[in-house]
């Protein structure tokens, strides 16, 4: 039996109702709808200046009834038309559902209020991404239970997807009569963009790729700011500017652009660990800077690695240090070693001796998969005597920002032997 569009919508609503009832049973609460209107802080869900016809109003008899759809609006967007977030918020859900909405995005605007965008052909955002009004979240389609391309737009409770209110927009208030052509003022032309890639190909290196442009000037190459360690403003996040000035004919063709709007760049960072990397397109016209998105990447430690294996005092006034070290971001070079006698770096009255870790250590090379010479077994002269702390440091030469302490050991240093008298300088006692 072939079901009509209205039949399919009813099945969708019944399926959603069962999910909501189950959720409420688990939570032990009943969700109540708020008043039907709210302050006009939202915009129509497509880019500014574009006009589309309302194909079904709130309360429309085709499918806009009941607790899930009575406040929804359908717009007759052709296939693959840009769909924009109606307000600032965080992506609550982005993906495909089997309840009839097909490819769907929910944007959380706070207080469990989500704008819903259903039947999309493609999705451009990821769950957890913070976006601004006007951010293109996807393109319209007819996925799920839809008889043709259109956008289903609603204000719902994020957790249960029950309808909350008719969306009160700057352009239309809450008045959406079917058959009316409406024109958007959404976005104030903030930049849009996409992250294609965030990787860490080597210690202390982050590689990013993607594109961005400002809709106020579609020929200009935008600045893009990359933050390693969190979003802009997060304490300790490390910022790096770059330019989206690489040719991207695929982006130009899709968006009707000229000029260069891609980026494909590696940056050096002192950060390491499993960290978020966030990219912003920097606004040049109306609107504001756009958070393109954040991706988490594991960045290997770029600072030197090594060990102070042994310290001895083979003779008076002499200290011998043995160990190894190499820089993880440049393993081909022999590192400089700083040996502190009398305490750690920064302590008063320490002696500093410098030498290079350029002795063969095949065991180290095999263990770490590196080449070159990275060992040291070096004797240095010192004026220190008695029991002393000796500390060694591998001096960073690569992308890191930290000289690594290889270890500290305690050694007892004997007095240096007295120097032999120089011939001809002794005193002669002739007596009387």
194: exposed, middle or buried (Cβ count in 10 Å: 0-12, 13-18, 19+): middle
Q: Name the residue among 125, 153, 126, 162 with its Cα closest to residue 57.
A: 153
Segment 291-346, tens digit of pLDDT: 888 899 999 999 999 999 999 999 999 999 999 999 998 898 999 999 999 999 99
Residue 329: per-residue pLDDT: 86
Task: Give the integer Cα–Cα distance in Å for 322 and 156.
Answer: 68
**Cα 267–271–275 angle (5° rounding)?**
95
Residue 57: per-residue pLDDT: 93
Residue 410: per-residue pLDDT: 97
Q: In the chain, helix, strand, coil percent, each to 5?
A: 10, 40, 50
The string of DSSP letters for 98-154 reads TTTTEEEEEEE-STTEEEEEEEEEEE---TT-EE-TT-EEEEEB--SS-SSSBEEEE
Residue 398: per-residue pLDDT: 82
Token pair in block for residue 59: 């309360």
CA 346 remoteness from chain centre: 36
Residue 176: per-residue pLDDT: 93
Segment 118-132, tens digit of pLDDT: 999 999 999 998 888
Contacts of 396 (CB under 8 A, 6+ apart): 303, 304, 327, 402, 403, 404
Q: Are 107 and 118 in contact (CB under 8 A)?
A: no
Q: Are 218 and 259 in contact (CB under 8 A)?
A: yes
Q: Are 102 and 143 in contact (CB under 8 A)?
A: yes
Q: Which domains does the chain have, with CATH numbers?
A: 5-183 (2.70.70.10), 192-299 (2.60.40.10), 304-413 (2.60.40.10)
In the chain, which stretches have pLDDT less than 50?
1-40, 427-432
Residue 243: per-residue pLDDT: 97
């Amino acid at each position: 039996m072939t079901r009509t569009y209205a039949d399919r919508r009813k099945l969708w609503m019944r399926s959603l109702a069962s999910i909501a009832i189950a959720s409420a049973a688990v939570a032990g609460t009943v969700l109540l709808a708020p008043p039907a209107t709210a302050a006009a802080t939202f915009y129509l869900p497509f880019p500014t200046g574009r006009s589309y016809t309302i194909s079904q109003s709130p309360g429309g008899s085709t499918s806009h009834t009941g607790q899930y759809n009575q406040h929804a609006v359908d717009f007759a967007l052709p296939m693959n038309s840009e769909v924009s977030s109606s307000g600032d918020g965080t992506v609550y859900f982005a993906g495909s559902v089997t309840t009839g909405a097909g490819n769907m995005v929910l944007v959380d605007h706070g207080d469990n209020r989500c704008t819903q965008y259903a039947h999309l052909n493609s999705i451009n955002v990821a769950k957890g991404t913070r976006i601004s009004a006007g951010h293109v979240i996807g393109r319209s389609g007819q996925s799920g239970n839809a008889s043709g391309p259109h956008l289903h737009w609603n204000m719902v409770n994020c957790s249960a997807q029950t309808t909350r209110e008719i969306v009160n927009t700057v352009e239309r208030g809450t008045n959406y009569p079917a058959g009316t052509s409406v024109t958007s003022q959404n976005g104030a032309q903030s930049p849009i963009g996409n992250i294609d890639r965030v990787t860490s190909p080597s210690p202390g290196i982050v590689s990013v790729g993607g594109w961005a442009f400002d809709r106020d000037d579609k020929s200009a190459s935008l600045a893009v700011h990359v933050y390693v360690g969190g979003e802009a403003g997060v304490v300790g996040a490390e910022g790096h500017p770059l330019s989206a000035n690489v040719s991207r004919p695929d982006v130009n063709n899709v968006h009707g652009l000229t000029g260069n709007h891609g980026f494909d760049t590696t940056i050096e960072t002192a950060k390491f660990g499993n960290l978020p990397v966030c990219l912003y397109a920097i606004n040049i016209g109306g609107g504001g800077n756009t958070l393109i998105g954040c991706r988490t990447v594991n960045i290997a430690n770029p600072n030197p690695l090594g060990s102070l294996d042994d310290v001895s005092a083979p003779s008076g006034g002499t200290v011998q240090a043995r160990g190894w070290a190499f820089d993880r971001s440049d393993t081909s070079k022999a590192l400089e070693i700083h040996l502190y006698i009398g305490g750690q770096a920064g302590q008063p009255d320490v002696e500093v001796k410098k030498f290079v870790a350029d002795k063969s250590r095949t065991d180290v090379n095999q263990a770490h998969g590196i080449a070159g010479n990275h060992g040291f077994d070096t004797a240095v002269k010192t004026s220190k005597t008695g029991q002393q702390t000796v500390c060694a440091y591998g001096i960073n030469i690569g992308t890191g920002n930290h000289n690594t302490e290889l270890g500290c050991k305690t050694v007892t240093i004997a007095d240096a032997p007295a120097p032999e008298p120089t011939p001809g300088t002794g005193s002669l006692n002739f007596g009387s």
